[in-house]
Chain A
Amino acid sequence: MLGTGILQGMVETARNFVGSYTDEARLTTVEYPEQRIPLKEATRQFPFLVFDGSDPQAGLRCVACQICEKECPPQCIFIEKSKDKKPDYIGKPQFYPATFDIDISVCMSCQICVEVCPFEAIKMDNEFELSTTDRFGGLLTHKQQLAKPNEHYHKIHPTEAAEVDARLAADKAKAEAKAKTDADAKAKAAAEAKAKTAASPFPAIPVAAT
């Protein structure tokens, strides 16, 4: 019959209306600044730079390879390479970024920089309260603001961070093992060479010396 559907709908909305006053569980929203819903682990807003250890600038994982700068679709990253090198987590000497700026008014949160980074140095942050009174300077974030410790990464994306740490540890172990075998091989080669010289009928020390 015409009109019954509307009446049913009106009963339903009336039930919602009354229910929202009597049953707190019905309310789907929270009063934001005071109450907050915990963020989902996959939340992402804008990138940040991960550092290890205690010094934010010395511990940066970034090696200023500029892959993210080239891949960034809206071109919001600006990197200046350093002149000198410093050792990275494996101990290999690497460049570091003298300047690393991200314009978050341009950034579109696509996460491509994170995907292309070979050094696990740039990750997505979940910080979303970024309003500022200065719309030009205030939205251009520098290396100092971007650098955040690995613990922060563990806090916001635990699963992902654990994977990354495991991978880095494996890399490091592999590098160390390789270094060790290399060193062993070198030592062995040296020893062999030494033994060879010792065992040879002609002593290494030339006769002429005596």
Chain B
Amino acid sequence: MAGKLDQLFVALKHWAVGFFPEAWQPLVSILLSIVPIIAVFGGLFAITTVIERKGLGRIQNRLGPNRVGIPLTNIRLFGFGQFIADGIKALIKEDVVPRAADKVVHFLAPIALVVPVLLGYSVLPFGRNMVPIDLDAGLLFFFAVGAGTELSLFMAGWGSRNKYSLLGAMRAIAQMISYEMPLVLSGLAVVMITGTLSLPKIVEAQNAYTGTIAHWHVFTPWGLAGFILFIISSLAEANRSPFDMPEAESEIIAGYFVEYSGFKFALFFLGEYLGMFAVAGLGITLFLGGWTAPFSWLTWIPSWAWFMGKLVTIVAVFIWIRGTVPRLRADQLMNFAWKFMLPMALLNIVVAGLWHFTGREGWNMIVRWLVCAGILIVPYLLLGRALETKFVKRVYRYAS
């Protein structure tokens, strides 16, 4: 029974594909992989916009949206109809294109954001046997298409011919290139340990249990450090607070999409959230064991439920972080990327190598844990202190 539920969607797809003639089956099979991904993650995007606004409201001791429900009735659904109203609003708004803008680039930018982001989903394993394309170099593919989103942001910023847009785009490029490095390097540690770039194989490597606890990478010193580095840099890659400097409503209005309205703006919004889900999904795959259960007595829960549960949890943490941390300044952002994140990511690779070649039995195990944790914690403290001395209270010599 549990196995059937686990393979429910795989079986459904096989059953549906069986209705079509032999020649059509590969095409239908691909379509039946794409459509659910767009539907499920599009739906998750819609729900997340409401949950985010409600969560941020609660963090600020407000109620958040709680009115929009089913039209023409008194049913309010706790405000979860909000995204429908927002979607209709975005669709019927006027699409303003600045006269001086480069029309083609301005038009292509939102598409150039959504398409690579959706491509990223094609290699993520959402459950057991549930990966759209089992690429040997899935991780490489993900990072490659992920880097394509930077182009879109710069297209939007430059094509609009607006100074705020260009400033936002330049900030976005500087930020994303700086944080791409720790993102990839923290993922590299996983590749070193598992010896594969294929995401389903990385999940399989974590699908083992010592006692009842799973072999998730996050339960090791290098894995924990890598996971934290990965989450921080994925926040920056997704342009989310506290790294939302490219948008920075209070400084440069909305950065690179200042000249976008209506549905194009909605596409940017969608692309950003889909990018966030994709990168969170990759984080789950690399460090949180993908679709595997944390304890062996929980394996009866279907694999796809584990994946979605972990994804929703990470998104909730992202919202929580957004409600807590204020935006970084440009120089703080760069300092943090190059003087803290990058050295820590490099050290993490050294630790992963050490972990791989040291013993796993008895006393060796404890020594390995202590040495690896020490190599990470001591530089963390030292680098952290060096970083914090930068944030002294500013003294105004003449103005005070």
Write the residues of chain A forming the contact surface with B, with a CB cutoff of 8 angstroms: 1-3, 6, 9-10, 12-14, 16-17, 19-21, 26-29, 31
Contacting A20 at CB < 8 Å: which of B61, B324, B325, B381?
B61
Interface residues of B in 313-357 (CB under 8 A from A): 320-321, 323-325, 340
State in angstroms the CA–CA spacing of A28 and B58 once bound together: 11
Q: B276-289, CB under 8 A of A: which get 1 and which 0?
A: 00000000000000
- Which residues of A have CB within 8 Å of B321? 10
On whether the beta carbons of A27 and B62 are closer than 8 Å, the reply is: yes
Write the residues of chain B forming the contact surface with A, with a CB cutoff of 8 angstroms: 55, 58-63, 320-321, 323-325, 340, 380-381, 383-385, 387-388
State in angstroms the CA–CA spacing of A15 and B154 once bound together: 39
Also in contact, A13 and B380, with CB within 8 A (given A2-B387, A20-B58, A27-B63): no
On whether the beta carbons of B63 and A17 are closer than 8 Å, the reply is: no
Known: A10-B324, A12-B324; 14 extra A-B contacts, CB below 8 A, are: A1-B384, A2-B380, A2-B381, A2-B384, A3-B384, A6-B325, A16-B58, A20-B58, A20-B61, A20-B62, A27-B63, A28-B62, A29-B62, A31-B63
| Smallest beta-carbon distance A35→chain B, Å | 11
On whether the beta carbons of A13 and B63 are closer than 8 Å, the reply is: no
- Which residues of B have CB within 8 Å of A26? 61
Kindly report which residue of chain B lies nearest to residue A26, judged by CB atoms.
Answer: B61
On whether the beta carbons of B384 and A13 are closer than 8 Å, the reply is: no
| Smallest beta-carbon distance B50→chain A, Å | 16
On whether the beta carbons of B62 and A17 are closer than 8 Å, the reply is: no
Residue contacts A-B, CB under 8 angstroms, 29 given: A1-B381, A1-B384, A2-B340, A2-B381, A2-B383, A2-B385, A2-B387, A6-B324, A9-B324, A13-B323, A13-B324, A14-B320, A16-B58, A16-B60, A16-B61, A17-B58, A17-B320, A19-B61, A20-B58, A20-B61, A20-B62, A26-B61, A27-B62, A27-B63, A28-B61, A28-B62, A29-B62, A29-B63, A31-B63
| Smallest beta-carbon distance B198→chain A, Å | 33
| Smallest beta-carbon distance A37→chain B, Å | 14
State in angstroms the CA–CA spacing of A3 and B55 once bound together: 23
| Smallest beta-carbon distance B21→chain A, Å | 54
State in angstroms the CA–CA spacing of A12 and B61 once bound together: 12
**Nearest 10 Cβ contacts at the A-B interface:** A2-B384, A13-B324, A9-B324, A13-B59, A20-B58, A17-B58, A26-B61, A10-B324, A20-B61, A13-B323
State in angstroms the CA–CA spacing of A13 and B241 once bound together: 15
- Which residues of A have CB within 8 Å of B340? 2
- Which residues of B have CB within 8 Å of A3? 384
- Which residues of A have CB within 8 Å of B380? 2
Instruction: Give the interface centre of A1, A13, A20 by most chain B CB atoms within 10 Å.
Output: A13
